């Protein structure tokens, strides 16, 4: 047990960079797709990747090292001191479902726009400008 | 414990690689499948961070349902990112026939 | 060219700001505190989920009971998205020329392995989904997860068979009735115990099938609602009539 603690303390910087770094990189990659790409479906793909990154960041903040999942199985009824934070998990549950609803609605708008304007390039949808 | 750290680092690298492939690839069907891979690896990540409820939710919603609605949208619009409108499709079709 | 430089600069600044702002919350630090004398909200929820509510899954207790009103908002958002999607993709009958009345989903039938396998797997997937949302308060799971699994089972049947259709009227009625039942359960709590979605005082013992008061009942309603809603969304999307070229 004690050697686990010292291994964790030694590689702590690497772990923090791995988990927080991959969440922040996901957000940046999705943001690049939203800002620079021209095809409508590619923009919605970028939106979906941003949402995945944000959810990962949330759950990673709630993790406590060497603790376990917040479920009181039979035999672990008094182990409440050794449990991970349950509040970010409840938030992320809601956020994943709402992200899926947003993506579905955005894609239905893409289908409708293509049906009307016959193009899926945002630079050619000129009639939407003021 | 070192296997835990190794798992996290390797999953992180696969996550970033799949996300980069999804954004760079011009054939939209492959990009959508890469988004599905991002959801899959994210679900394993959530399990390793001791959050089983979130892992089941991400696996059920992100892998099957999001991929299928993207594929239906690609079927009703264009498949290639560079051939994005009706007259471009017709122009390439006529050039191939003629 | 200028836009590219600007976008790269913005991404760099955003990345550095996001990563540095989590330096104050180092990975793996214990921010919950002791649960005997709860000093944070998380410790309070963990302690009362086992003692006052006798629910094994504390994330379920937070989503349905402590933060039940936010779940009502989430169910509303999902309902609005499904309705909006159906109304955006609506196509009047006379806008299309003479097409066949059967929705052309796929052009070739699936192979016989897929057809046989889908017939065997479909009831098993439905059973798994119902198991997940009935046992939501004991094991990881719940209404949203079980509903998505059931919708995936219906998707398998939609893809494999050309003429598989669900009875649209039955699905719409089931969805509306279960949403209404969720709100009525909240009102029952309001009338009998004083506040909206308040739980009953008799909550049973930990790890029983019937424990947690109103929590499994609410999750069953949410599970039925989410599964029929997502099946309706998939049905709408797969029945878009193709254009005549």
Residues whose CB falls within 8 Å of the CB of residue A40, separated by 6 or more in sequence, listed in order: A110, A113, A114, A120, A121, A122, B77
Chains with 3 or more CB pairs under 8 A to chain B: A, C
Least CB–CB distance from B56: residue in C140, C151, C233: C140
Whole-number Å distance between alpha carbons of C221 and C174: 10
Percent of chain C predicted with pLDDT > 90: 49
Least confident of C34-38, C45-49, C90-94: C90-94
- Count of other CB atoms within 10 angstroms of residue A31: 20
Residue C63 in contact with residue A93, Cβ under 8 Å?
yes
Q: Hey, what domains does chain A have and what are their CATH numbers? A: 2-124 (1.10.287.3510)
C210-214, long-range: CB < 8 A, 24+ apart:
C211/C54, C211/C55, C211/C56, C211/C137, C212/C53, C212/C54, C212/C55, C212/C60, C212/C61, C212/C65, C212/C137, C213/C53, C214/C65, C214/C185, C214/C189
Which residues of B are less than 8 Å from A122 in CB distance? none
Task: Compute the C-alpha angle C9/C13/C16, nearest 5°.
Answer: 140
- Dist. CA A49–CA B34, nearest whole Å: 10
DSSP per residue, A56-108: HHHHHHT-BTT-B-SB--TT-TT-GGGB--SHHHHHHHHHHHHHHHHHHHHHH
Interchain proximity B87–A96, CB inside 8 Å: no
Alpha-carbon span B47 to B56, nearest angstrom? 9
The whole-number pLDDT of residue A100 equals: 95
| Dist. CA C219–CA C134, nearest whole Å | 7
The answer to whether residue B30 neighbours chain A at the CB level (below 8 Å) is: no
What mean pLDDT, rounded, does chain B reach?
90
User: How many Å apart are CA C203 and CA C61, to the nearest integer?
Assistant: 12
Question: What pLDDT is recorded for position C206?
Answer: 72
**Which residues fall within 8 angstroms of residue C116, CB to CB, at 6 or more apart?**
none
Nearest to B75 by CA among C107, C87, A48: C107
DSSP, res C164: -
Which C residues, 120 through 179, put their C-beta within 8 Å of a C-beta on chain A? 139-140, 142, 144
Rg for chain B, CA atoms, rounded: 18
Contact criterion met (CB below 8 Å) for C183 and C197: no
**pLDDT on residue B44:** 94
Inter-CA distances, A22 with B45, C18, C99, C173, C181, Å:
11, 12, 49, 44, 42
- Residue C218: HSE in the Cβ half-sphere, 13 Å Cα cutoff: 30
On chain A, the residues whose CB falls within 8 A of the CB of C144 are 93, 97
Among residues A29, C11, C24, the alpha carbon closest in space to that of B24 is found at: A29
* B59 contacts on A by Cβ (under 8 Å): none
CB contact under 8 A, A20 and C27: yes
- Residue in chain B closest to A92 (alpha carbons) equals B54
Supply the range of the domain harboring residue B10: 2-97
Is C97 part of the contact surface with chain A (CB cutoff 8 Å)?
no
Q: Select from C81, C149, C209, C236 the residue whose CB has the most chain A CBs within 10 Å, as the one to mutate to test that interface.
A: C81
Cα separation, C195 vs C212, in Å, equals 17
* φ, ψ (nearest 5 deg) of residue C57: -95, 110
- How near does any CA of chain A get to the CA of B49, in Å? 6
Spatial contact of A93 and C59, defined as CB atoms under 8 Å apart = yes
pLDDT digits 0-9 by tens, B39-92: 999 999 999 999 999 999 999 999 999 999 999 999 889 888 888 887 888 887
If one counts the domains in chain B, the total is 1
Query: pLDDT tens across A84-109, in order?
Result: 999 999 999 999 999 999 999 999 99
CB contact, 8 Å: B46 with chain A?
Answer: yes
Q: How long is chain A?
A: 130
Interchain pair B72, C240: CB under 8 A: yes
User: Hey, are the CB atoms on C62 and A73 less than 8 Å from each other?
Assistant: no
SS (H, E, C) C58-94: HHHHHHHHHCHHHHHHHHHHHHHHHHHHHHHCCCCHH
- Across all residues in chain A, what is the average pLDDT? 88
**A-chain residues near C81 (CB < 8 A):** 101-102, 104-105
Contact C191, C152 (CB under 8 A): no
Helices (H), C105-214: 112-134, 143-160, 168-193
What tokens were used for C225?
């609602």
pLDDT in tens, A54-91: 999 999 999 998 889 999 888 888 888 889 999 999 99
Distance of CA C22 to the CA centre of its chain: 30
> Which of B22-31, C158-167, C189-198, C230-239 has the lowest average pLDDT?
C189-198
Q: Do B69 and C237 touch (CB under 8 A)?
A: yes
* A68 bridge partner residues: A83
> What confidence category does residue C117 fall into, taking pLDDT thresholds of 50, 70 and 90?
very high
Does A86 contact C59 at a Cβ distance shorter than 8 Å? yes
The Cβ of residue C6 has, within 10 Å, a number of other Cβ atoms equal to: 11
Mean pLDDT in residue range C69-92: 91
Q: Residue A23 pLDDT > 90, yes or no?
A: yes
Q: What is the pTM of this model?
A: 0.90
The residue assigned the tokens 């955006």 is C88
Q: Do C22 and A63 touch (CB under 8 A)?
A: no
| Chain B environment of C238 (Cβ under 8 Å) | 72
pLDDT > 60? residue A113: yes
- Kindly give, in sequence order, each residue whose CB lies less than 8 Å from that of residue A57, ignoring residues fewer than 6 positions away: A20, A23, A24, A27, C22
Contact C155 B57 (CB under 8 A): no
């Amino acid at each position: 047990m004690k050697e686990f603690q010292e291994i964790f303390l030694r590689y702590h910087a690497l772990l923090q960079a791995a988990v927080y770094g991959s969440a922040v990189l996901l957000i940046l990659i999705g943001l690049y797709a939203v800002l620079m790409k021209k095809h409508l479906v590619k923009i919605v793909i970028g939106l979906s990747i941003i949402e995945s990154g944000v959810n990962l960041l949330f759950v990673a903040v709630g993790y406590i090292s060497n603790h376990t999942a917040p479920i009181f199985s039979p035999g672990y009824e008094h182990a409440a001191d050794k449990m991970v934070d349950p509040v970010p998990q409840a938030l992320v549950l809601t956020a994943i479902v709402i992200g899926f609803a947003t993506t579905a609605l955005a894609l239905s708008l893409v289908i409708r726009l293509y049906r009307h304007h016959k193009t899926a390039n945002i630079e050619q949808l000129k009639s939407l400008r003021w | 414990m070192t296997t835990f750290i190794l798992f996290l680092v390797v999953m992180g690298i696969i996550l970033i690689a799949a996300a980069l492939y999804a954004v760079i690839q011009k054939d939209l069907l492959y990009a959508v499948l890469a988004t599905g891979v991002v959801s899959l690896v994210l679900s394993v990540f959530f399990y390793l961070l001791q959050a089983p409820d979130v892992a089941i939710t991400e696996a059920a919603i992100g892998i099957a349902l999001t991929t299928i609605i993207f594929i239906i949208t690609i079927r009703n619009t264009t498949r290639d990112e560079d051939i994005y409108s009706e007259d471009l499709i017709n122009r390439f079709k006529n050039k191939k026939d003629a | 060219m200028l836009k590219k430089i600007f976008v790269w600069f913005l991404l760099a600044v955003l990345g550095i700001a996001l990563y540095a702002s989590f330096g104050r919350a180092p990975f793996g630090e214990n921010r919950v505190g002791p649960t005997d004398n709860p000093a944070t909200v998380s410790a309070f929820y963990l302690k009362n989920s086992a003692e006052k509510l006798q629910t094994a899954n504390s994330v379920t207790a937070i989503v349905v009971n402590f933060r039940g009103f936010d779940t009502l908002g989430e169910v509303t958002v999902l309902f609005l998205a499904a309705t909006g999607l159906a109304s955006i993709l609506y196509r009047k009958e006379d806008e299309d020329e003479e097409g066949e009345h059967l929705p052309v989903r796929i052009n070739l039938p699936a192979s016989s392995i897929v057809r046989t396998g889908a017939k065997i797997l479909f009831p098993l997937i439905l059973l798994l989904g119902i198991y997940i949302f009935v046992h939501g308060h004991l094991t990881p799971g719940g209404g949203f997860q079980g509903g998505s699994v059931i919708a995936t089972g219906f998707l398998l049947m939609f893809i494999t068979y050309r003429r598989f259709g669900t009875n649209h009227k039955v699905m719409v009625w089931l969805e509306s009735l279960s949403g209404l039942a969720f709100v009525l359960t909240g009102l029952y709590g309001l009338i009998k115990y004083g506040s909206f979605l308040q739980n009953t005082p008799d909550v049973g013992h930990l790890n029983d099938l019937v424990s947690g008061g109103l929590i499994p009942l609410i999750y069953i309603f949410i599970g039925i609602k989410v599964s029929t809603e997502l099946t309706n969304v998939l049905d709408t999307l797969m029945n878009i009539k193709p254009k005549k070229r």
